[in-house]
Amino acid sequence: MIIQAKITTKAKRNYVQQINDLEFKIFTTAAPEKGIANKKIIELLSEYLKTTKSKLKIISGDTSRIKKIEVN
């Protein structure tokens, strides 16, 4: 399954908001530097979906606010 996520970095708190089955908004306090925010996004999404981080992979949008994430 592939989901789409709109990312907001440097937010006041970390949380995930589900828009519909395949679309999410993810807010993270991490800065978009050296992949730190991407790691935090995977961590937050894995907690939200109750799955392991290894089952999530960013397949497009590494440096973009809109990301496509594969969920195995």
User: Domain with 52 in it: what CATH number?
Assistant: 3.30.1200.10
Which pTM does this prediction carry?
0.89
pLDDT on residue 70: 96
Average pLDDT over residues 18-42: 93
Domain extent for 67: 2-71
Structurally, the chain folds into a number of domains equal to: 1
pLDDT tens track for 33-71: 888 999 999 999 999 999 999 999 999 999 999 999 999
CB crowding 9-35: b at 16 or more within 10 Å, else e: beeeeeebeeeeeeebebbbebeeeee
Average pLDDT over residues 11-23: 94
Containing 18, the helix (H) or strand (E) segment is strand 15-20
pLDDT on residue 17: 95
Q: Which two tokens stand for residue 24?
A: 């999410």
